[in-house]
Amino acid sequence: MYGILGKLLATPGNRERLAQVLVAGSRDMPGNLAYVVALDEADELALWVTEVWASREEHQASLQLPQVQAAIGEARGEGLIAGFGERFETRPLPDSL
Amino acid sequence: MYGILGKLLATPGNRERLAQVLVAGSRDMPGNLAYVVALDEADELALWVTEVWASREEHQASLQLPQVQAAIGEARGEGLIAGFGERFETRPLPDSL
């Protein structure tokens, strides 16, 4: 299994919209076992994404999916992303899902 | 909804065991919607837990559950925990689960 824990920084006032775009773009991705989007309670511009994938390769392939490309385009087009914070690659335990 | 993203540091050689103890202790917790344990690929002593709860109160109550107390006791008894890293409280998006 392959996982990612990443922090995104939204532009002011756009965190909720960015979170929705991420969730919408994360539907029906082959090999994706979890894609949890969570707003950081201490930083009003930050949100965290916890991803779990059956494999690194399936995550890599997902970046070309139309819904993912559309979400990236929307986020960029609407200027929703101010930057990226910490990012950790992980190995999730299968029986913790 | 209420969430936590937290990093734990295992004592040398005990990360896998600590991860199993955490997973075993996280079964059947009322109000728990996700408890993902993932090993950090860059730090062999670190693991991350992504928790999603229906409410803060249900998370709080879970700390008294027998299985959680047993897991805490096991982890302490076996000297599995070296320390705690970053910890973030979050507000997970319901439709990202």
Tokens 């040398």 identify what position? Answer: B12
Is the confidence at residue B96, as pLDDT, over 90?
no
* Parallel/antiparallel/unpaired status of strands A81-92 and A46-53: unpaired
**pLDDT confidence band for A97 (50 / 70 / 90):** confident
Q: Do B38 and A96 touch (CB under 8 A)?
A: yes
Return the percentage of chain B with pLDDT > 90, whole number.
97
Average pLDDT over chain A, rounded to whole? 97
Tokens 């107390």 identify what position? Answer: B69
Rounded CA gap, B28 and B46, in Å?
25
Q: Do A42 and B95 touch (CB under 8 A)?
A: no
Instruction: Tell whether A58 lies on the interface with B, counting CB pairs under 8 A.
Output: no
> What ipTM was assigned to the predicted interfaces of this complex?
0.92
**Residues of chain A contacting B88 with CB distance shorter than 8 Å:** 40-42, 48
pLDDT tens-digit series, residues B19-50:
999 999 999 999 999 999 999 999 999 999 99
Q: Do A37 and B92 touch (CB under 8 A)?
A: yes
Which pLDDT belongs to residue B42?
Answer: 97
**Residues of chain A contacting B42 with CB distance shorter than 8 Å:** 88-89
DSSP one-letter string for A32-97: EEEEEEEEESS-TTEEEEEEEES-HHHHHHHTTSHHHHHHHHHHHHTT-EEEEEEEEEEEE-GGG-
Instruction: Tell whether A87 lies on the interface with B, counting CB pairs under 8 A.
Output: no
Rounded CA gap, A90 and B68, in Å?
24
| Chain centre to alpha carbon of residue A27 | 11
What are the structural domains of chain A?
Answer: 2-91 (3.30.70.100)
Instruction: Tell whether A23 lies on the interface with B, counting CB pairs under 8 A.
Output: yes
Q: How far is B77 from chain A (nearest CA, A)?
A: 22
